[in-house]
Amino acid sequence: MTAMTDIQELLLSRIRDVEDYPEQGVMFKDITPLLADPAAFTALTDAFAEIAERTGATKIVGLEARGFILGAPVAVRAGLGFIPVRKAGKLPGATLRQAYDLEYGSAEIEVHAEDLTAGRPRPGRGRRPRHRRHRRGLPAADPPGGRRDRRRRRPDGTRLPRRPRPAGAGPGRSAPGGAAPGL
């Protein structure tokens, strides 16, 4: 048996299934027994930190509330910053918001806009595909002010209209009348 298999068995043995919670037909995964077991909690934290280091993560993002419990110790163990993602209306200041659906309803989450900085991959690592972000997490796009988003924005995050270009200006265009500018 490999070490990873032993860790998987340990972790899975500490996650309790609760049928029909919080609603009929939902299978709730209760991680409180895992959190109460120091060996299992340490094994999980170490495994996640190793994945973060191996993939070149620059921050750990944790979705409320389990993500806070698990994400913060992983960030500390990996030596990375932690970004909390909260339920809508719980964060002050400028935020980015995303709606998502659950088996038993829908909700919205937010993150501080300034916590998401456009980062570059660590040396020797390619840029990871954006579609790998958590399906209920942040939208698959760079944050405002990120590398691909150079347009000006209002404080609420919406884009300002583009500035009009002067007639004849722009790449590959000549000035009115066909003459090159300055001639």
81: number of CA atoms within 13 Å, CB side? 8
Q: Which of 19, 54, 103, 165 is catalytic?
A: 103
Name the packing angle between helices 38-55 and 3-13 (round to 10°).
130
132: number of CA atoms within 13 Å, CB side? 5
Q: Which residue type, as a one-letter code, is found at position 155?
A: P
Contact criterion met (CB below 8 Å) for 43 and 66: no
CA quadruple 64, 99, 128, 162: dihedral sign: negative
Q: Which of 9, 16, 23, 66 is catalytic?
A: 66
162 has catalytic annotation: no
Give the residue among 147, 139, 157 at the shortest CA–CA distance from 118: 147
Contact criterion met (CB below 8 Å) for 122 and 56: yes
103 has catalytic annotation: yes
Catalytic residue set: 66, 103
